[in-house]
């Protein structure tokens, strides 16, 4: 039964929504989840004998936090896995997250960003650069999907977040004194590098194809663009990295 649950959590977004749970696989993410102070417990932990021999410390740490655990065969590991070369470690937990702190000063807003690798990479970059929180609006990729989790390398577990409606977001930003800048090609956009960002700044990264949505554009105070040469555009994760570095330097 727990093998089937683990497989469904890894393979099915609908099942993750229905159960309000998620699953991770591999030594790094299992270790990150086991060590995460915001994760109160691991519901299920499955591992192979080979994995226990290769990663004994990670297995011990996860077992100490697991409500249920079991040793599985290499064949079952391949059946559950979402990767070509499974490491034989799987953990499932209820979704959790940190609230954006009241003293937050730098935020990144993801507006309908659909690629889970982009979402995970932006979360990882945001943590690395000291961004205070990530806001998800207009149906972004699931931050607890396997691809997002792998791209974030565990940053999802630590990064404060918020998932409001566009209307609620506008009110929240104004109430908390943020100046909001949208990354978009527009005749009124200012060149990145020529803008002086205030202490409390939120940057919007739009959908990979459609860009910033109309409802989010309406709550923004300013538009900016990244000057580039020799390429038509940058993907969402690359653009976010450049802009977030700029607002924090």
Per-residue pLDDT at 63: 97
Structural domains for the chain: 2-94 (3.30.1330.30), 106-248 (3.40.1280.10)
**Six token digits for residue 46:** 């499955």
pLDDT surpassing 70 at residue 43 = yes
| Lowest-pLDDT range of 42-46, 105-109, 180-184 | 180-184
**How confident is the model over 148-202, as pLDDT tens digits?**
999 999 999 999 999 999 889 999 999 999 999 999 887 788 889 888 899 999 9
SS3 15: helix
Angle at 231 between CA 229 and CA 232, to 5 degrees: 115
Provide mean pLDDT across the span 106-117.
96
pTM for this prediction: 0.92
Average pLDDT, the chain: 93
**How confident is the model over 205-233, as pLDDT tens digits?**
999 888 899 999 999 999 998 888 877 77
Query: What percentage of residues in the chain have a pLDDT greater than 70?
Result: 99
Q: How confident is the model at residue 1 (pLDDT cuts 50, 70, 90)?
A: low
Provide mean pLDDT across the span 39-56.
96
For the chain, what is the radius of gyration of the CA atoms? 20
| Cα 31 to Cα 33: distance, rounded to the nearest angstrom | 5
Residues 43, 93 contacting (CB under 8 angstroms): yes
Per-residue pLDDT at 86: 92
| Cα 138 to Cα 91: distance, rounded to the nearest angstrom | 29
**Six token digits for residue 157:** 């577990």
Q: How confident is the model at residue 82 (pLDDT cuts 50, 70, 90)?
A: confident
Instruction: Please provide residue 215's backbone torsions phi and psi, each rounded to the nearest 5 degrees.
Output: -70, -30
């Amino acid at each position: 039964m727990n093998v089937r649950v683990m497989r469904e959590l890894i393979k099915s977004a609908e099942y993750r929504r229905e159960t309000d749970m998620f699953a991770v696989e591999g030594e790094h993410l299992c270790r990150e989840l086991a060590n995460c102070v915001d994760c109160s417990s691991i519901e299920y932990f499955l591992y192979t004998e080979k994995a226990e021999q290769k990663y004994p410390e990670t297995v011990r740490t996860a077992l100490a936090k697991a409500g249920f655990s079991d040793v599985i065969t290499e064949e079952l590991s391949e059946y559950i896995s979402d990767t070509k070369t499974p490491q034989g470690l799987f953990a499932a937990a209820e979704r959790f997250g940190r609230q954006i702190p009241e003293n937050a000063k730098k935020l990144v807003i993801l507006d309908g960003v659909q690629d889970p690798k982009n979402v995970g990479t932006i979360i990882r970059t945001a943590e690395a650069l000291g961004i205070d929180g990530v806001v998800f609006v207009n149906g972004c990729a699931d931050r607890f999907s396997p691809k997002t989790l792998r791209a974030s390398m565990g940053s999802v577990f630590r990064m404060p977040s918020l998932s409001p409606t566009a209307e609620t977001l506008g009110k929240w930003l104004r109430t908390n004194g943020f100046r909001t800048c949208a990354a978009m090609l527009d005749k009124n956009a200012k060149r990145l590098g020529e803008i002086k960002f205030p202490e409390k700044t939120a940057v919007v990264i739009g959908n990979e194809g459609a860009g910033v949505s109309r409802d989010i554009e309406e709550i923004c105070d300013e538009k900016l663009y990244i000057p580039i040469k020799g390429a038509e555009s940058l993907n969402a994760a690359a653009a976010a990295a450049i802009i977030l570095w700029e607002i924090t330097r």
